Amino acid sequence: MEAEDKTPDPAFEDIHLACIECGVPFVFTAGEQQFFFDKGLKNPPKRCKPCKTRKNERFNQLLSMMATDGSRPRIQVEVECAECGIQTTVPFLPTQGRPVLCRDCFVRARVAVPVCAKPVVKYLPPTAA
Ligand SMILES: [Zn+2]
Ligand SMILES: [Zn+2]
């Protein structure tokens, strides 16, 4: 049967993906795939680097806004369920680095999932006074 030694890592090759935000093709490099593999991430990146950077900037902007301004903006945060990978929304800012689960998975499994949440923050129109 199988010996104690680890199965060799699969050989990675650069993959060309299209950014879901701007549609521009980008390369999911072998090195990045190795990184994802090591982290146990199953879903390949969906955005090119510029879009990812812009998304993070928006997120940080919102964070600082919430920190300085006492009034909490109504937000809808799009996150990818760390468990099943489906897109779901939550009305709060998930802690960065913490896995976010969709309702189903949250109810089903309350175990730690070593996957980072990938939040997409959207501003909602303010509620009418
Ligand atoms: Zn893009
Ligand atoms: Zn889920």
For the chain, the structural domain boundaries read: 15-123
Structural contact between residues 89 and 78, judged by C-beta atoms closer than 8 angstroms: yes
**Which amino acid does the sequence have at 82?**
A
Residue 49 alpha carbon to ligand 1 centre in Å: 7
* pLDDT of res. 29: 94
Beta partners for residue 16, in sequence order: 27
Q: Is the pLDDT of residue 63 over 60?
A: yes
Percentage of the chain with pLDDT > 70?
A: 74
Tally of CB atoms within 10 A around 80: 21
Ligand 1: centre distance to CA 54 (Å): 9
Q: Is the pLDDT score of 3 beyond 70?
A: no
- Token pair belonging to 21: 């935000």
Nearest ligand to the C-alpha of residue 52? 1
Residue 69 CA to ligand 2 center (angstroms) comes to 32
